[in-house]
Structure 1
Amino acid sequence: MELSPIGLVHSGIRFRSDMPVQGVDAEIEIFSRYAGGLSGIEENSHLILVCWMHEAGRDVLTAVARKVSGDLPEKGVFSLRSPVRPNPLSVSVVRLCGVRDERFLALANVDLIDGTPVIDIKPYQTGWDCVFSATGHDRTEKIRKMGPGEYRAGLIREAVNYHGELCPGVAVGVRIAEAATRIFERDLRHPQVSVAPGPDPCIADALIGITGASPGNRRLGCSGGDRYVLSCAGKEAVFILREVPESVDAILAAGEASLFDCAVHSRPQQRR
């Protein structure tokens, strides 16, 4: 087996310990002899980036998601996205922001340190690569150990991945999701969490992207009014919007009480 790097990552992050969970903006330099392979790449909004994590250990089979918390349970590396693994390949979906001089790619959400060798690039194709119905482990314990800023960043990414942009409606959906997580004390992707969005389609998209609710899994309904309702295990949280700022930054900085009224009720549990 022989791998030849096709380029390098140029990132402002030089140490693995400094890398945010959500990654950073970075530039990929493709070596001149491979530049022809980029023809047509600007037609894609997102790419699959395959890199070699050259500073990662290769003799580890169990690890902890330490970027979240050092006291989370240890798991096998094949059930984690840890850089330490027998063959330290990084496979990640990144957003293409632009192409410069026919061989430099401006990317967002890159979680690779400066100087990381690039092995391959593929176009991300929604119909094939997105499995919206996919399930994974319950992230409740991990969420509890996250800082509020880190958790919000994750919610924003899930909402934007589904909706397409961070607009005011998506920002409101993120704030509702933050409050619901606190109320239910549970990962909102849990099968017991259901959503009945109100009339704003952007807020609805955000809540769907964050929770994974759909009509097919019977977790998505309709509130039938101007309310946004999330339910879980006999508890219902009803959100009614107040005057919402027009700026995303203002929405993310505002106190919850200025954005919406929230009432929590008990409700009978339904059998699925």
Structure 2
Amino acid sequence: MELSPIGLVHSSIRSRSDMPLQGVSAEVEIFPGYVAGLEGIEDNSHLILICWLHRADRSVLKAVARKISDDLPEKGVFSLRSPARPNPLSISVVRLFGVREGRYLLLEHLDLIDGTPVIDIKPYQPGWDCVFSAAGHDRTEKIRRMEPRDYRSSLIREAVNYHGDVCRGVAIGVRITEAATRILDCDLRHPGVVVAPGADPCILDALIGITGATPGNQRLRCSEGRRYAVSSSEKEVVFRLLAAPQSVDDIFAAGETSLFECAVHNRPQPK
């Protein structure tokens, strides 16, 4: 089995320990002999980047998600996205912003250190590559241990992956889900979490993208106007929107009480 790198990552991050959870903007240099393979690549907004993690420990079969916390339980590397694994290939979905000088790809959300060899590039195709109904493990414990800024970044990414960009409605949706996660103390993708959104379509997109709730899985219910509700088996959190700032940055900087009124109701439990 022979692999020949087609390019290299150029990043401001030179150590895995310095890499932000959501990655950074960076470039991929494609070697001159492979430039012809880039023809048509700018037709795609997102790419699948396959790289070789050249500094990874290849002897590891169990690891901990240390980017979140050292206290999380150890798992097999095939159930984690850890760089340490027998064959340290990375698969990253990245956003393509442009091509410089015909062979430098300008990318966002790249979590690869400077000098990482690039093995292959494929176009990301939503109809095939996106499994929106996919289920994973309950992330509640992981979320509890995340830094607030990292959790917000993950919510923004989930919302934007569904909606397309960070608009005012998406920012409000992220703030709603931040508060709901804290109050309900659970992963909002849990199958027992139900969402009742109001009238704003951008907030609705954000809530669907973050929670995975849809009419078909019976987790998306009807609401109206400026009322938004998120509920678990034990509690319901009702948000009534106030006059939020027009700027996305101001929405993220504002206190919750200036964005919405919040009421918590205990749900009756079966006897």
Is TM more than 0.5 here?
yes
Q: Are residue 70 (structure 1) and residue 60 (structure 2) matched?
A: no
- Quote the offset at 1:120 in angstroms: 0.2
Q: What does 1:171-186 correspond to in 2, within 5 Å?
A: 171-186=171-186
Where does the alignment leave 5 or more consecutive residues of structure 1 unmatched? none
* Offset from partner CA, 1:51-79 (integer Å, 9 cap, x none): 00000010000000001000100000000
Distance 1:95 1:151 in 2: 20
Question: Equivalent residue for 2:6?
Answer: 6
- Secondary structure of the 1:162 match is helix
The 1-side partners of 2:110 and 2:268 are apart by 44
Question: Structure 1 residues 149 and 183, CA, compared in 2 at 3 Å: closer, same or farther?
Answer: same
Q: Secondary structure at the match of 1:33?
A: helix
The whole-number CA distance in structure 2 between the counterparts of 1:269 and 1:47 is 47
- Partner-residue secondary structure (3-state), 2:36: helix
Hey, what's the Cα distance between the residues in 2 that align with 1:255 and 1:198? 21
Structure 2: 5+ residue stretches without partners: none
Q: Aligned equivalents of 1:174 and 1:216: distance in 2?
A: 23
Q: Which residue in the other structure is 1:104 paired with?
A: 104
Equivalent position SS for 1:180: helix
Structure-to-structure mapping, 1:1-272, within 5 angstroms: 1-268=1-268
Return the alpha-carbon distance in structure 1 between the equivalents of residues 181 and 258 of structure 2. Answer: 19
Per the normalisation by structure 1, the TM-score is 0.98
Tell me how far apart the structure 1 counterparts of residues 14 and 83 of structure 2 sit (CA, whole Å).
15
Shift of 1:201: 0.5
Q: How far apart are the structure 1 equivalents of 2:147 and 2:257?
A: 21
The alignment yields a C-alpha RMSD, in angstroms, of 0.9
In the TM superposition, what whole-angstrom CA distance separates every residue of 1:233-272 from its partner, at most 9, and x where no partner exists?
Answer: 13111101111101111000000000000011123469xx
Distance 2:143 2:264 in 1: 21
- The Cα offsets for residues 168-207 of structure 1, whole Å up to 9 and x where unpaired, read as 1100000000000011000000011010110000001001
* Post-superposition offset of 1:125: 0.2
Offset, 1:102: 1.1
Structure 2 length-normalised TM? 0.98
